[in-house]
Structure 1
């Protein structure tokens, strides 16, 4: 069993034939379930993208959705949550801090994550470098909030270790367009294994990158099972 907690649906703003690639890509790599955000929602119009994704999710059981939240449009975000959560197809929230020009330290993202916490949902938040430390501090300051540090800080993965050890409601997922030797193994050795997830960034990045990086860590037994699916199943109640 494999659950991908960081995936996308829909075309990007450069030439990629990915709109219908989700299930074929999942089949190729043996991914059983994926939690996806709409690219339109992430990079352009959250409301329109969220509703387009809702139509895509209807009637199939391998994809689940993130409601994408733009921290600078919280009224729209609240409406989207009210409308889409009752469908049962959305299990979390996605916030991309760069595309929305809303750093983790901004009041907009603070308020957005407070809204997420009030709905009892996990939030996948884009992190890079030291921003993962800011996310841990914000999580500690927001009662009930559970956050996934997308890319686990990328080149700031050692900061991600510190962040995860500081906040027991912060989870790490590893996808990144680079794969430094030993990165995953170093994180696994230093962080509670119950807070490690698997993500690929498909369809933006081919899943082979994440699979190779995790395979290089040599996980076995319960540790491998937890990363592959069990932690995600518990976090998202799948």
Structure 2
């Protein structure tokens, strides 16, 4: 079984040929991915209110996708409205915050307010992290009592900081998708991190899943660790049915 915890639905401004839910499912079938947790591209890069609602409609059409509610920390009133309206559908299982598109660095006051809101709701959140931002996310996570945060890209090229970050907060998870990571990155991180804190993500449909799958295969993880990475940790984090 494979659960992809970092994926997207909808066209990108530089990849317009991946716009329909059919595209997601075709890519998943090609690589044996059973379930994707997706955010709407429109919600991440442009307008959360319209994008989240378009995704809510898409999620009624397939049981292969679950959703992240995209949140802009600079407009928490809108985020609270989206959460109240869309979370009860049962098709959204977490939140997504892209620090660059929202111009909200992890250490900013508005980001702290957004993470505090998600802590109060006990809603897992996927946060875009690069370089030292993964350490900042871990620090905020440690200061909040319940927050479960996923460091998207596990710091990108700063994955050595991701190892340190998991020691700061045991509720921090690492998701390794990256378009240009150095060889051996996943294996090096897995050697030093609690295997219960490792997840699998592809950044599809922005990046072909072959990149992430190849990187994980190259890590040659032990069978029990591979199972945790590919699906079991995600199933536990998001309270999903297990095979």
Residue deviations 1:37-61 (CA, integer Å, cap 9, x gap)? 0000000000100000000001421
Which residue among 72, 75, 94 is the counterpart of 1:73?
A: 75
What does the per-residue CA deviation read over 1:151-180, in whole Å, with 9 as the maximum and x for residues that have no partner? 000010000000012210000000000131
User: C-alpha deviations, 1:118-163, integer Å up to 9, x for none?
Assistant: 1111000000000000000000111110100000000100000000
SS across alignment from 1:171: strand
Q: 1:149 aligns with which of 148, 151, 162?
A: 151
Question: Does residue 60 of structure 2 align to residue 58 of structure 1?
Answer: yes
| Matches of 2:87 and 2:224, distance apart in 1 | 32
Cα pair 2:15 2:206 within 8 Å, conserved:
no
Distance 1:101 1:169 in 2: 25
Aligned pairs (5 A) from 1:40-119? 40-119=42-121
Q: Bigger CA drift: 56-65 or 3-12?
A: 56-65
2:178 aligned residue:
176
Distance 1:118 1:24 in 2: 37
**TM-score, length basis structure 2:** 0.97
Q: What residue ranges of structure 2 are gaps of 5+ in the alignment? A: none
CA shift for structure 1 position 208: 0.5
RMSD (Å), alpha carbons:
0.7
Number of equivalenced pairs? 238
Aligned to 1:229, the other structure's residue is in SS state: helix
C-alpha displacement of 1:73: 0.5
In structure 1, stretches of 5+ residues that fail to align are: none
State the SS of the aligned residue for 1:6: strand
Verify the 8 A CA contact 2:67 2:94 in the aligned structure 1: yes
Alignment check: 8 A CA contact 2:156 2:181 kept: no
On the 8 A contact 1:179/1:209 being kept in 2, the answer is no
Structure 1 residue 85: Cα displacement: 0.7
Aligned to 2:11: 11
Does the Cα contact within 8 Å between 2:40 and 2:70 map onto a contact in 1? yes
Does structure 1 conserve the Cα–Cα contact (< 8 Å) formed by 2:6 and 2:36? yes
- Helix, strand or coil: the match of 2:237? helix
Partners of 1:165 and 1:202 in 2: CA distance: 29
Mapped partners of 1:166, 1:193: distance in 2: 16
User: In the TM superposition, what is the alpha-carbon distance from 1:87 to its structure 2 partner?
Assistant: 0.3
Q: Within 2, Cα distance between the matches of 1:15 and 1:214? A: 25
TM-score, structure 1 normalization:
0.99
